A and B are shown apart, each in its own frame.
Chain A
Amino acid sequence: MARTPAELVGARPEPPFEITFDDRTITALPGQSVAAALWGAGILAWRTTRGTGRPRGAFCGIGQCYDCLATINGTPNRRACLVPARPGDAVTTQEGNGHAELSV
């Protein structure tokens, strides 16, 4: 019986690479979304809501709920469940609307 999803499908992935989440370095597999890479590292939340500041992460997993919005390489409001992870990506916890720098 399989102990991991990768075992189940007999995955022989290309070499893993590193991305960062805030000040952590985590390992991602080629072909994984940013959200999958974060789940793979046991991280379930990468955003705080703009009303009450509560933590959120991936929910629907298919790009419909927009709960997984993350700031990726400085761009806010990327859907982490759709965006493929790339070597060297910097994912940062997105606070609220993610556009604080525009405030006047």
Chain B
Amino acid sequence: MPSSASDLYDVAIVGAGSAGLSGAVTAAELGLSVALLDTSAQVGGQFYRHPEPALGAVRPEALHHDWSAFRSLHRRLESVESSGVTRLAGHHVWAVTRDDADNADAWTVHAVTGADGDGERPVRVRARALLLATGAYERQLPFPGWTLPGVVGAGGAQAMLKSGLVLPGRRVVVAGSGPLLLAVASSLAHAGARVPAVVEASGYLGYARHMRTLAANPHKLAEAAVHGAALLRHGVRVRTRSAVTAVHGRDRVEAVTVSRLDRDWRPVAGTGRRVECDALAVGFGLAPQIELATALGCATRPAKDGTSALALDALQRTSVPGVWAAGETGGVGGAQLAIAEGELAAISIAARLSGRPAATAGGHVRSLRRRRDRMRAFADVMAAAHRPGPGWTRWLDDDTDVCRCEEVTAGRIREAVTDLGARDARTVKLLTRAGMGWCQGRMCGAAVACLAATGGDVPPSAERRPLAVPVTLAALASLAEPNTTPEPTGSDSTDGG
């Protein structure tokens, strides 16, 4: 264990995306010492993912909405990096534990290092407070053919484009549900791909019932309008109440079948139409990445999109004292909300550590909270509008792989439920291995939970993953050895603008 008090940070922040970055700079500006851990070599998270400096992108903003917000956070980071923020890039956090040595009021963050966590150097970081800003990953629902090469996550296509400047194909259908689809389609089209169709399972009518909430968030409407206009310019057709129900091709995608859906997302027989393409980018919204928090016992809440999010109070506190969360972990809501929440969390942490709770009572905090609440309300409207309908399971064949890792079919899962007494995702997993593979159910969890609950609605699956990422036995075996001092990463050479 670290031996000197200097190894104890005021706050450890897991995740250097919008929420974590905002939390880090705010905390440092308030005089706290911050350890900022992220798996990536760069800051920015998924939303502000951008090319490595070696790729020499002169206009990274061409692939981003609201790049200026990131540029501003980045400048603030540079000015506090020498004083308050220790950046720990390439750190994959596998667990957080409560310190039982010395004073009980501290946390140990356990990480493995390297580009994909392959480094031999396990690291521990101790801190008095913990801010979880671990973001989200894309929610997927299976359909026949979704394991064929050329079918990629919509967010995945976006991520590969933003950081690697590559496309999965030349004609890319974008499908699934959620506001991300329009952004992805517009990026792909900008970058030179043909997008024969955007296929959205919901109708957009769900938005119309909440015009006041929408009108209170003009920046969000502007963002949607930008994407919408871009799609028009590229001649991209948006088909609502539709889904890709089959993928064609032997070794890779050659075409997809798009079918109409009823309001419960049941495919309407006889409506299937073939669309030629060489790739499909698909996603059904995002799911909060909360396993570090749930392993600590933090309470969750069912979000309106059917996912499970952390239950947070007005100052971003989880139910476990000493643990804060911000951004998508508290429910998916986008980068601007994450930035506001990161700042709020940092102010709340500083107030707690300095023993001056009054520091959260000022006008700035009040206005931050108002902004946060307004954006959360908007996010809830979006979430409800894109919540998967119970009928989606009708587009599965019995031999559709649901669990990609362990290749467990829908038929096997249904058998476990109807014949073997499984009533929940955990038992399905035990009886079929669905969710037991490398990704630990991140890709199939929503679908398995849904198939296990015979009602068909998607119950939030609060899966426990005590190991947030895989760790080598050698790294685990070396845990008693003196801690390797974390090596701060040099400042990000991207100038953010």
- Does B456 reach chain A (CB closer than 8 Å)? no
Given A36-B165, A39-B160, A39-B166, A30 and B54 touching (CB < 8 A)?
Answer: yes
CB distance from A47 to the nearest CB of B (A): 10
Whether the pair B404, A5 counts as a contact (CB closer than 8 A) is no
User: Which residues in A have their C-beta under 8 angstroms from that of B137?
Assistant: 60, 62, 64
Whether the pair A83, B191 counts as a contact (CB closer than 8 A) is no
Find the A residue at minimum CB distance from B408: A51
Q: How far is the CA of A31 from the CA of B41 in the complex (A)?
A: 11
Contact mask A45-87 → B, CB, 8 Å, 1/0? 1000101101111111111111101000001011101111000
Whether the pair A2, B192 counts as a contact (CB closer than 8 A) is yes
Contact mask A1-39 → B, CB, 8 Å, 1/0? 111111111111110000000000000011111011101
User: Which residues in B have their C-beta under 8 angstroms from that of A69?
Assistant: 438
- Does A40 reach chain B (CB closer than 8 Å)? yes
Q: Say whether chain A's binding surface is mostly helix, strand, loop, or mixed.
A: loop
Contact mask B104-142 → A, CB, 8 Å, 1/0? 000000000001101000000000000000000110000
Contact mask B376-410 → A, CB, 8 Å, 1/0? 00000000000000000000000000001111000
Given A60-B443, A61-B159, A83-B116, A45 and B251 touching (CB < 8 A)?
Answer: yes
- Which of B308-365 touch A at CB < 8 Å? none
Given A5-B192, A31-B55, A61-B160, A36 and B151 touching (CB < 8 A)?
Answer: no
Given A5-B191, A65-B442, A79-B116, A59 and B153 touching (CB < 8 A)?
Answer: yes
CB distance from B293 to the nearest CB of A (A): 17
Given A5-B192, A45-B149, A67-B404, A31 and B160 touching (CB < 8 A)?
Answer: no
Contact mask B274-305 → A, CB, 8 Å, 1/0? 00000100000000000000000000000000
Whether the pair A65, B153 counts as a contact (CB closer than 8 A) is yes
Given A31-B51, A36-B160, A39-B166, A2 and B191 touching (CB < 8 A)?
Answer: yes
Q: Say whether chain B's binding surface is mostly helix, strand, loop, or mixed.
A: loop
Q: How many residues of A contact B (CB 8 A)?
A: 52
Sampled A-B contacts (27; CB under 8 Å): A2-B190, A2-B192, A5-B63, A5-B161, A8-B190, A9-B57, A9-B62, A9-B63, A11-B57, A11-B165, A12-B58, A14-B56, A31-B52, A32-B164, A39-B160, A45-B149, A45-B251, A51-B406, A59-B443, A60-B155, A60-B443, A61-B159, A65-B404, A77-B438, A78-B118, A83-B118, A84-B115
Residues of B within 8 A of A (CB): 39, 41, 46, 51-60, 62-63, 115-116, 118, 137-138, 147, 149-153, 155-161, 163-168, 190-192, 251-252, 279, 404-407, 437-439, 442-443
